[in-house]
């Protein structure tokens, strides 16, 4: 039996894609290898958010050539979508599969064909995989002289010469000129015609039996001047609400106590989905109904007096289709209302998507982790404008202060970029002061990396690397001090924490509701929520002791129900189908979902 190995680079979305790829390979009868050196097929699921991410992928290809020269290498992901010809030229690469065709990667790698494989040969299989007639035939290859980014940008404009576009096979033909033994087969299509949402629950390698991450949204409709992601992941698309509920329920049934929902632009979940009737998704219980109706209709029409006086109007409104009232808040309420999940954690959400409703919902529910990650990028209005970010510093400040007022002990994190083209000392000073003033508990600090084809890469005033590194160091120093102060402020309090893994006989590692690592004395079974007294701080970790007398699950779980996972129950793997399919044709199981080698998105320098 052939063996495969998947190595993921980058963000949670990429890891979720990798989990779905693993499912596809397992379904095709392959066996997962324990290490890349033992596999016949190695899949490199790449990132391209920085130049460093590209270098990591190329280094991995070279390393594979040394340790496993006979393996076949399939390179997919964002780097493959952005620069397929660059990867195809590297020795040892057998296939380059862009995000546009990632859902077919397992089919491509197991087709058994020798030499060039045209997309036409895959069209029959593609229809069965995607559930759409001729999905591949509608996608035109964008690899050419201008490169995929330039093509993606130009594809947003009317085509001046319709005959200029060539077919997939014509675009691929130049790669056929190489000898068959060396031919690298390239499958890259128009990402903006892509409708797939490839995802499955994925787990951190170290904590594979706790805290699954479920990708519910992919792509981005924003156009930040520094960001290549929209051109390698395509337009924003959402996993339908009923599918999300089904996946969360399956994870809960398998025994998981925390689920993290994520996306490339999570706050935009649902904006692309068709309108739903209140009775079919948005409303399931009276409390949820009242909350949602109050969001949609004027306040005068949601008062108790108005509802009593107008019962027929209330029923009519309840049955009327919404004007696409599928929003992240509605999805979260549905998860809380329709599943018994103990704790839901929300990953990064853009500033302007932190509505008062969302803040209030997170603050008021004990079943939602008190954790807000709100990308900042810069505290300078001028820099934000050059970045094409859709908020101003005062908007951002207002959101953070509202979050802190609603949740005094919540984790509040941000992404910050230094060294953006033209960033002056004064502009950096504005960012530094804003960070000092706001109640952050951690930061992810990145140094700007020019991405080919993005507007920022062509802007004047590129900041010298040494200056950018110093700015990075300064912000990380502030962030470390803020995190230490936040941790010290919790000493003497009681926090909720989920056990992750044993650190031997001495302690068990845990993660608090507000996103801090913790050591708990003794051995405790993984995947259990407990109340813990915070006694001290040890470096980057809290030291705590369980509150006496606990016997059962916290945070919404059922008292007396053990936290042990049922090994006979595995999470559903239904997320690989097209995001616009209304129902599932089948629901195969995921038996192995952890991926072993996840490379950090970027370095801190």
Domain co-membership, 186 together with 119? yes
Share of the chain above pLDDT 70, in %: 68
Q: Which domain range does residue 390 map to?
A: 205-487
Residues sharing a CB contact under 8 Å with residue 453, sequence separation 6 or more, in sequence order: 82, 147, 149, 150, 152, 153, 228, 231
Strands 507-512 and 517-521: antiparallel
Are 220 and 188 in the same domain? no
Model confidence at 117: pLDDT above 70: no
Which of 487, 515, 535 represents a domain boundary (last residue)? 487
Is 519 a member of any domain? no
pLDDT band at 195 (very low <50, low <70, confident <90, very high): low
What lies within 8 Å, CB to CB, of 477 at 6+ separation is none
More confident residue, 397 or 571: 397
pLDDT (mean) for 538-552: 85
d(CA 5, CA 512): 32
Q: Does residue 488 surpass a pLDDT of 70? A: yes
Answer yes or no: do 237 and 112 share one domain: no
The residue whose two tokens read 């050419």 is 144
165 and 221 co-located in one domain:
no
- Does 35 fall in a domain? yes
Do 421 and 308 share a structural domain?
yes
Q: What is the pLDDT of residue 308?
A: 53
429-483, pLDDT tens digit by residue?
999 999 999 999 999 999 999 998 899 999 999 999 999 999 999 999 999 999 9
Instruction: Quick: pLDDT tens for 221-269.
Output: 999 999 998 888 889 999 999 999 999 999 999 889 999 999 999 999 9
pLDDT of residue 227: 92
User: Strand, helix or coil at 264?
Assistant: coil
Structure tokens at 461: 């005033």
- Which of the pair, 118 or 44, is modelled with greater confidence? 44
Is 423 a member of any domain?
yes
Q: Is residue 72 a contact partner of residue 33, using CB atoms and an 8 Å limit?
A: no
Q: Rounded CA gap, 49 and 11, in Å?
A: 9
Average pLDDT over residues 525-532: 93
Q: How many CB atoms lie within 10 A of CB 173?
A: 13
Beta bridge partners of 538: 541
What CATH number corresponds to the domain at position 13? 3.40.50.12160
- Domain with residue 378: its CATH number is 3.80.30.20
**How many domains is the chain partitioned into structurally?**
2
Winning range, highest mean pLDDT, from 30-39, 372-381, 519-528 = 372-381
Tell me the pLDDT of the chain averaged across its residues: 75
99/211 same-domain check: no
Asked if 48 and 67 count as a contact pair (C-beta separation under 8 A), the reply is no
Of 59-63, 325-329, 373-377, give the lowest mean pLDDT range: 325-329
Instruction: Report pLDDT digits (tens) over 363-391.
Output: 999 999 999 999 999 999 999 999 999 99
326/392 same-domain check = yes
State the pLDDT at residue 532: 97
Whether residue 422 lies inside any domain: the answer is yes
pLDDT-based confidence at residue 203 (cuts at 50, 70, 90): low
Query: What is the pLDDT at residue 23?
Result: 85
**9 and 42 inside one domain:** yes
Higher pLDDT, 405 or 525: 405
- Predicted pLDDT at 502: 66
560/312: higher pLDDT: 312
Q: Which of 95, 156, 104 is nearest to 129 (CA)?
A: 104
Same domain, 278 and 336: yes
> Range with the lowest mean pLDDT among 141-155, 190-204, 407-421, 532-546?
141-155
Q: Tell me the backbone φ, ψ of residue 214, rounded to 5 degrees.
A: -115, 115
Residue 395 and residue 355 in one domain:
yes
Provide the β-strand partners of residue 360.
none
Pairing label, strands 541-546, 517-521: parallel
**515 is a domain residue:** no
- Final residue before a domain boundary, out of 464, 487, 510: 487
Which of 457, 487, 517 is the endpoint of a domain? 487
Do residues 427 and 469 share a domain? yes
Residue 549 lies in a domain: no
Query: Does residue 233 belong to any structural domain of this protein?
Result: yes
Q: pLDDT value at position 511?
A: 96
Taking residues 572-592, report their average pLDDT.
Answer: 30
Assigned domain for 584 exists:
no
Same domain, 80 and 50: yes
């Amino acid at each position: 039996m052939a063996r495969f190995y998947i190595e993921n680079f980058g963000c949670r979305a990429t890891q979720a894609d990798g989990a779905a790829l693993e499912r596809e390979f397992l379904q095709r009868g392959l066996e997962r290898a324990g290490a890349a050196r033992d596999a016949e097929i190695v899949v490199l699921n790449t990132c391209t958010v920085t130049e460093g991410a590209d270098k990591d992928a190329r280094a991995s290809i070279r390393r594979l050539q040394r340790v496993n020269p006979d393996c076949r290498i399939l390179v997919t992901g964002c780097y493959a979508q952005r620069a397929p010809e660059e990867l195809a030229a590297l020795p040892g690469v057998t296939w380059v599969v862009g995000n546009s065709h990632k859902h077919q990667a397992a089919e491509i790698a197991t087709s058994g064909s020798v030499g060039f494989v045209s997309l036409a040969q895959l069209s029959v299989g593609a229809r069965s995989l995607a559930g759409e007639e001729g999905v591949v035939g509608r996608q035109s290859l964008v690899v050419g002289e201008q490169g995929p980014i330039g093509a993606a940008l130009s594809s947003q404009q009317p085509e001046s010469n319709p005959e200029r576009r060539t077919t997939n096979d014509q675009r691929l033909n130049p790669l056929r000129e190489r000898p068959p033994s060396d031919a690298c087969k390239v499958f890259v299509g128009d990402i903006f015609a892509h409708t797939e949402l490839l995802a499955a629950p994925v787990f951190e390698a170290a904590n594979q039996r706790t805290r699954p991450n479920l990708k519910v949204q992919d792509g981005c409709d924003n156009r930040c001047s520094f960001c290549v992601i929209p051109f390698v992941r395509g337009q924003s698309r959402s996993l339908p609400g009923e599918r999300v509920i089904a996946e969360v329920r399956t994870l809960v049934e398998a025994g998981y106590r925390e689920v993290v929902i994520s996306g490339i632009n999570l706050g935009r979940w649902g904006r692309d989905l068709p309108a739903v009737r209140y009775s079919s998704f948005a409303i399931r219980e009276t409390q949820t109904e009242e909350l949602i109706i109050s969001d949609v209709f004027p306040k005068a029409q949601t008062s108790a007096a108005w509802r009593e006086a107008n019962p027929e109007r209330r029923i009519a409104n309840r049955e009327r289709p919404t004007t696409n009232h599928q929003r992240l808040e509605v999805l979260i309420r549905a998860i809380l209302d329709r599943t018994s999940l103990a704790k839901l954690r929300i990953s990064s959400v853009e500033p302007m998507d932190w509505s008062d409703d969302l803040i209030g919902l997170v603050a008021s529910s004990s079943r939602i982790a008190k954790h807000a990650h709100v990308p900042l990028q810069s505290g300078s209005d001028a820099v934000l404008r050059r970045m094409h970010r859709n908020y101003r510093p005062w908007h951002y400040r207002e959101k953070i202060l509202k979050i802190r007022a609603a949740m005094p002990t919540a984790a509040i994190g941000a992404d910050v970029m230094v060294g953006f083209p033209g960033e002056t000392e004064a502009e950096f000073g504005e960012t530094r002061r804003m960070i000092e003033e706001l109640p952050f508990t951690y930061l992810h600090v990145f140094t700007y990396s020019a991405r080919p084809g993005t507007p920022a890469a062509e802007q004047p005033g590129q900041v010298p690397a040494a200056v950018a590194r110093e700015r990075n160091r300064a912000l990380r120093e502030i962030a470390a001090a803020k995190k230490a102060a936040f941790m010290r402020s919790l000493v003497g309090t009681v926090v909720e924490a989920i056990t992750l893994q044993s650190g031997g006989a001495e302690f068990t590692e845990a993660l608090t509701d507000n996103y801090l690592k913790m050591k708990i004395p003794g051995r405790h079974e993984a995947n259990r929520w407990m109340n813990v007294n915070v006694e001290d701080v040890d470096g980057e970790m809290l030291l705590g002791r369980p509150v006496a007398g606990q016997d059962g699950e916290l945070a919404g779980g059922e008292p007396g129900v053990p936290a042990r996972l049922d090994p006979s129950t595995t999470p559903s793997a239904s997320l690989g189908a097209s995001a616009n399919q209304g129902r599932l044709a089948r629901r195969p199981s995921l038996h192995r979902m952890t991926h072993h080698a996840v490379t950090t998105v970027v370095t801190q320098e």
